[in-house]
Amino acid sequence: MNLLEALQYPFADKQWKNKLGIATLLMVIPVVGWLALLGYGIRITRRIANDDHRLPDWQDFGRDANTGIMVAFGSSVYAAPVVIFLCMIIFLSGLGGDEVTLILSCCLGSMLLVYGIVIAPLSQAAVAQYAHHNDVSEFFNVPARVQDATAHSDQAVNLAMQSAGLGILMAIPLGLGALTLSLLFVEPLLGLCCLLIFLLPAPALMAYLLMANFYLIGEWGKIIGARRQH
C-alpha cells in the first residue's frame, strides 16, 4: 500500500475526466449523491482487490446508492465514538466559556486523531470484507476485523499512516467548505465569492481523494484476502 500510488490511481484510466466529472457532480448532491459515491467506492475496492486498476463505469446510480446505504449503516459502528466525542464538545461547551471550549476542542480533537489512526485498519477491513462478501454483518464482526489487522500488523500500521496522510489532504476541501459556509453568515458577499471560487475545485478534490481512499482499501483487501486463503 502506497499513498502516492493511490493518488495516481484515478488518472490511470483513459476516461478519468468523465468519471471524475460525474463523481464531482454527485459530491454536490447531498445524501443521495454521497451514498452513490460510497457504492461506487465499493466497486473500486472490488476491482483493486482483483488487480483491475481501471475505474468502474458509472452505470446504475440506484444500485450504487443502495450499496452506499449499507456501507454508511455498517460504518456507523466505527463512527459512533466520533459522534459521542462531538456531542461531548457541544454539551460541555455550553456549560463553560470560550476557554473551556478551546481546551475541550484541543483535547478531544487529539483523541479523535488518535482514534482515527487506530481504527482505520479495522474500519477499512470491514469495508473490504463487505466488498468481498456483500454481507453487511462484516461491519459488526469487530473481533474478526481485529484479527484481520493483527494478522498483518506491519501492513496495518502502514495503512493507518497512509490513511492519516489522506485524511489530512481531505481536510483541505472540507475546510474550504466550512470556511465558505461561515462566511456566508458573517460576510454574505465575501462568502458568495468564495462559494463561486470553490464551487468546482473543492468537490472535485474530495471526489478524487475518495477514489484514492478506496484504492487503499482495495489493496488492504488483497492482503487480508491472502490471509483467508491460507
Mean pLDDT (whole number) for 123-147:
93
Residue 1: helix, strand or coil by DSSP?
A: coil
Distances (CA, A) of 154 to 149, 219, 223: 9, 14, 11
Q: What is the pLDDT of residue 115?
A: 81
Q: What does pTM read for this prediction?
A: 0.83
Q: Which of 78, 108, 77, 76 is nearest to 90 (CA)?
A: 108
**The pLDDT of residue 140 is above 70:** yes
pLDDT at 102: 65
Cell of 28: 454536490
For residue 137, the model assigns a pLDDT of: 93
Cα separation of 7 and 209, whole Å?
7
pLDDT at site 72: 94
d(CA 91, CA 16): 44
pLDDT value at position 98? Answer: 60
Based on the structure, what is the number of domains in the chain? 1
In order, the DSSP letters of 10-70 are GGGSTTHHHHHHHHHHHHTSTTHHHHHHHHHHHHHHHHHHTT--SPPP---HHHHHHHHHH
Range of the domain at 60: 3-229
The whole-angstrom separation of Cα 13 and Cα 55 is 6
Q: How far apart are CA 43 and CA 37, in angstroms?
A: 10
Instruction: Say which residue the cell 476485523 belongs to.
Output: 145
pLDDT score for 229: 44
The answer, yes or no, to whether residue 212 has pLDDT greater than 90, is yes
Among residues 218, 224, 229, 228, the alpha carbon closest in space to that of 2 is found at: 218
pLDDT given for residue 94 in this prediction = 62
